[in-house]
Structure 1
Amino acid sequence: MKLGELGAFIRDQRRSARLSLRKLSDLAGISNPYLSQIERGLRKPSAEILQAIAKALSISSETLYVRAGILDEDREHNLVDAILQDPQITERQKQRLIDLYKDFLESNVEPHERASSVSDIPKETGS
């Protein structure tokens, strides 16, 4: 998915939830300018930022991960479903497992492919 499409999806979800850009940025714990850049397709958010946005919008993180191209809907669908449906682990643990799986997938990408896909994802530190 193109960054503009991800940003438009987030903007549509924000508007559907009747949230201002400022309110969503506060709820997600990210800066207003950064969220604006994401919505305009200028920045590609990390999985951590997508998780915060999803939580603030009350939608699944998986939805945003698929939209962002972090998870391939077909390939990871069964694994992610199994994780999400497991009643014995917490929501935080589920999210960490999905993030770990994504990190393993990214580390297995060929170096020439990684340069164009993984390096585009800004790594956020602290929040």
Structure 2
Amino acid sequence: MTESSGPPLSLGEIIRRRRELAELPMRQLAAMVGISGPYLSQIERGLRAPSDRVLHAIAAQLRTTADVLVEQATPEPSPPAAMLAAIAADPDLTAHQRRALVEVYTALRETTIARRRRGGGPPAHEDRPGR
């Protein structure tokens, strides 16, 4: 997980920053995407959410993917404190084992959360009792 120097940026802020880094005026990017300048302005200010089609078109013009833009705007979840406290309190674990468990647990959670963001759930064979 990466450290953050403030609150996570919104999707609109991510788009605006990437547009500015690409040195594209708002009107030019809007024309390239096929939307109006005011609509792009509303997206960048967080007043409107772009449709999937518009988000993919914006991402393509900014030479990235919609998934990358959304991921950058989504704060990384932190593991539940109760789980971390249970690992830390277990007297039968070494410090190395505790670190390893926290890393594995965090990685598994992040994988599941990322899969859900992409619209998928756990694979059909997972999370079924008796398996």
Q: Which has the higher contact order (CA 8 A, sep 6+)?
A: 1
Partner of 1:14: 19
Partner of 1:47: 52
| Structure 1 residue runs without a partner (length 5+) | 81-100, 106-127
Instruction: For residues 62-115 of structure 1, give each alpha carbon's deviation from its aligned partner in whole angstroms, at most 9, with x where no partner exists.
Output: 11233466xx974365799xxxxxxxxxxxxxxxxxxxx63x77xxxxxxxxxx
Helix, strand or coil at the partner of 1:11? helix
Q: Which of the pair is proportionally richer in helix? A: 1
Find the aligned partners of 2:113 and 2:26 in 1 and give their Cα distance: 31
- CA shift, 1:59, in A, is 1.0
When the two structures are superposed, what TM-score results if normalisation uses the length of structure 1? 0.51
What is the one-letter code of the residue matched to 1:48? Answer: R
Find the aligned partners of 1:39 and 1:14 in 2 and give their Cα distance: 10
Helix, strand or coil at the partner of 1:24? helix
Q: Say which one has the larger Rg.
A: 2
Partner of 2:40: 35
**2:11 and 2:70 in contact (8 A); partners too:** no
| Structure 2 residue runs without a partner (length 5+) | 1-6, 78-109, 122-131
Helix, strand or coil at the partner of 2:30? helix
CA distance 1:30–1:74, change in 2 (3 Å): farther
CA distance 1:68–1:46, change in 2 (3 Å): farther
State the superposition RMSD in angstroms: 3.1
CA distance 1:45–1:74, change in 2 (3 Å): farther
Moved over 6 A (4+): none
